Amino acid sequence: MLRVASVLSFFAGLVAVTIWIATALVEHAVERDASRRSLEWAEFAVWHVPRIDDLAQGLPSDPAELAAFEDLAHFGGVFRFKIFSPDGVLRFVSDDPGSVGSSLGTHNEHAVAVLTSGEAMTFVKDGREKPDRPDLYSETYLPVYDGDRLVAIAETYMDQTTKVAAVRTEYAIVGAALAGMILLALLIPSGSLWVMFRRLRRTNAELEEAQVRAQASDKSKSEFISTVSHELRTPLTSIKGALAMLESGKFAELDGSAKRLLEMALKNAEVLHLLVDDLLDFGKLATGGLEIRPCATDIAGLVQDEVDRIDSYDADRQVECRYTGERGPLFAHADPARIAQVVRNLLSNALKFSPVGGKVFVSVRERCGAIRVEVKDFGCGIPPCDQERIFEKFTQIDSSNTRQHSGAGLGLAISKEIVEAHDGRIGVTSAPGRGSAFYIDLPFCEGAAEAGAVELRNVA
């Protein structure tokens, strides 16, 4: 409704401006025409009334000349005229030649203005209120020259009723054509804009619908993953426990190949367990259920514990994992269990992607007001184009080396979420073939050491 009102008022404004311009143009055309015809009239007057200068000086006119004055009063569309002296004093009025009208002898300001400018001056007037005037007429003040000599100032009255009507019709036609063109010029683009707008609105609605559908399907997928992971976890824990007990040899003495088989089964159960844990965390992330409980945590101690523990992770590959950082304590405001999880993921990746017999260096240092944990390996490295991508869900670099290792491509995505939930940062610098250095920066916990904060180590 509001839009219709503003469109209507816009068009009303457009029409008003057009009418105003047209009126001004009509007046201008009539003024020019009246001035031109009055100048012709003046030439005729000088030729037809040789004593016009006497008349302008106020000398009494000869009654024999009255016929000539009569001719002048009907020449070139003039129906009335006045003669002023060259200095602007009224001397003669054509429709009252004999009598001395009350205004005779008075100065006329327009006549004086013509005297100063030397140019004709025209006014268009409405005569409908006056009994002896046409509906529209013009009054033109102009200088009358005899050769180079200014002999008088004249004022001519011309009927402009038909002229104005004709000019108005002309301008109305031109105006209507112009308005039509403007309207078309406005309507065509606004029409296409309107169509585009409608299309955009429809596409938007479709997109929103698709988004809602995608969100719903995403949610049910996450819920499904959570449920399956939960269901897998319990039997997997008991399988792992049973295998571990068998492997310990408490129940039966195992020969070499059976023991190897058991070790392999146990290792795969461990990998499966880690995968299920990742899937569970992923489900929690998707539903916003991953809880962070931060407290003053000695990150240096926590990382050293993880390094000690990881030694037993993959004994076959004989990768040496060495802590090279500050001994600590170095406190950050962090959830120890979650940060331990992140460190474990970085360590297991470093071991996984290191060559047999390789080295992994781990450090914790204070750096620019943050605690930086760094895990550095000398393995296959990561191409620059993949260094951001690996922090996205389910991303694994599609190289033959990567494919040799287990994993679902979730560990780094989960780590990123955890670190960012601590207002921290996770990143990597790496060169293919030369290794990678993963780091996490956690905000330093001011005054935690002085306050005697309890050192919380690896609650995982």
The rounded distance, in Å, linking the Cα atoms of 177 and 180 is 5
**Cα Rg for the chain, rounded, in angstroms?**
52
370-to-340, 350, 439 alpha-carbon distances in Å = 17, 23, 12
**Min separation Cβ 355 and ligand ADP, Å:** 11
Q: Is 408 in the site for ligand ADP (CB under 6 A)?
A: yes
**Min separation Cβ 439 and ligand ADP, Å:** 12
162-to-129, 137, 281 alpha-carbon distances in Å = 18, 10, 92
The rounded distance, in Å, linking the Cα atoms of 91 and 76 is 22
User: Pairing between strand 359-367 and 320-323?
Assistant: parallel
**What would the DSSP string read from start to end of 267-307?**
HHHHHHHHHHHHHHHHHHHHTT------EEEEHHHHHHHHH
Choices 78-86, 119-127, 315-323, 394-402; region in contact with ligand ADP by CB under 6 A: 394-402
Choices 59-67, 256-264, 318-326, 410-418; region in contact with ligand ADP by CB under 6 A: 410-418
Q: Is 410 in the site for ligand ADP (CB under 6 A)?
A: yes
**Min separation Cβ 393 and ligand ADP, Å:** 8
Among 31, 377, 417, 441, binds ligand ADP (CB under 6 A): 377
Residue among 365, 346, 329 at smallest CA distance from 428: 346
**Min separation Cβ 346 and ligand ADP, Å:** 7
Choices 179-187, 194-202, 261-269, 407-415; region in contact with ligand ADP by CB under 6 A: 407-415
Among 57, 387, 402, 429, binds ligand ADP (CB under 6 A): 402
Choices 74-82, 181-189, 247-255, 346-354; region in contact with ligand ADP by CB under 6 A: 346-354
Contacts with ligand ADP by CB under 6 A: the residue count is 21
118-to-78, 99, 185, 307, 340 alpha-carbon distances in Å = 21, 30, 45, 107, 102
Helix (H), strand (E) at residue 363:
strand 359-367
Q: Is 78 in the site for ligand ADP (CB under 6 A)?
A: no
Q: Is 161 in the site for ligand ADP (CB under 6 A)?
A: no
**What would the DSSP string read from start to end of 375-431?**
EEE-SS---GGGTTGGGSTT----SHHHHTS---S-HHHHHHHHHHHTT-EEEEEEE
Q: Which is nearer to ligand ADP, 319 or 410 (CB)?
A: 410
Compose the 111-150 pattern: x for residues touching ligand ADP by CB under 6 A, - for all others.
----------------------------------------
The CA angle 346-352-353, to the nearest 5 degrees, is: 90
Q: Is 429 in the site for ligand ADP (CB under 6 A)?
A: no
Q: Is 39 in the site for ligand ADP (CB under 6 A)?
A: no
24 phi, psi to nearest 5 deg: -65, -40
Q: Which is nearer to ligand ADP, 117 or 401 (CB)?
A: 401
Contact 363, 374 (CB under 8 A): yes
Q: Is 34 in the site for ligand ADP (CB under 6 A)?
A: no
> To 10 degrees, what angle do helices 411-421 and 336-352 make?
150
Among 412, 418, 440, 442, binds ligand ADP (CB under 6 A): 412
Q: Which is nearer to ligand ADP, 38 or 354 (CB)?
A: 354
Choices 34-42, 138-146, 314-322, 406-414; region in contact with ligand ADP by CB under 6 A: 406-414
Among 89, 390, 442, 456, binds ligand ADP (CB under 6 A): 390
Contact 278, 406 (CB under 8 A): no
Residue the block writes with tokens 């009334």: 49
Among 61, 138, 345, 363, binds ligand ADP (CB under 6 A): 345
Strand ranges across the sheet with 359-367: 320-323, 359-367, 370-377, 435-443, 425-431
Q: Which is nearer to ligand ADP, 163 or 352 (CB)?
A: 352
Q: Which is nearer to ligand ADP, 305 or 374 (CB)?
A: 374
Among 18, 161, 396, 429, binds ligand ADP (CB under 6 A): 396
Task: Return residues touching ligand ADP (CB under 6 A).
Answer: 345, 349-350, 353, 377, 379-380, 382, 390, 395-397, 402, 407-413, 436
